[in-house]
A and B are shown apart, each in its own frame.
Chain A
Amino acid sequence: DQQVKQNSPSLSVQEGRISILNCDYTNSMFDYFLWYKKYPAEGPTFLISISSIKDKNEDGRFTVFLNKSAKHLSLHIVPSQPGDSAVYFCAASSGNTGKLIFGQGTTLQVKP
Chain B
Amino acid sequence: EAGVVQSPRYKIIEKKQPVAFWCNPISGHNTLYWYRQNLGQGPELLIRYENEEAVDDSQLPKDRFSAERLKGVDSTLKIQPAELGDSAVYLCASSSPVGWNEQFFGPGTRLTVL
Contacts and interface: CB of A to CB of B under 8 A. Distances in A.
Interface of A: 4, 9, 32, 34, 36, 41-46, 49, 89, 91, 93, 96-100, 102-105
Contacts of B44: 102
B105 A91 contact: no
B51 to A, nearest CB: 13
Nearest to A41: B107
B4 A43 contact: yes
B56 A104 contact: no
Contacts of A98: 31, 33, 48, 95, 100-101, 103
Contacts, number: 55
B12 to A, nearest CB: 16
A43 B33 contact: no
Contacts of B104: 45-46
Contacts of A104: 40-42
Interface in B38-96: 40-45, 48, 56, 91, 93, 95
Given A42-B107, A97-B56, A102 B43 contact: yes
A42 B43 CA distance: 13
Contacts of B43: 44, 89, 100, 102
A45 B105 contact: yes
Contacts of B100: 96, 98
Contacts of A36: 105
B45 A43 contact: no
Contacts of B25: none
17 contacts: A32-B101, A34-B102, A41-B107, A43-B106, A43-B107, A43-B108, A44-B43, A44-B91, A45-B105, A49-B101, A93-B101, A98-B101, A100-B45, A100-B103, A102-B44, A104-B41, A105-B42
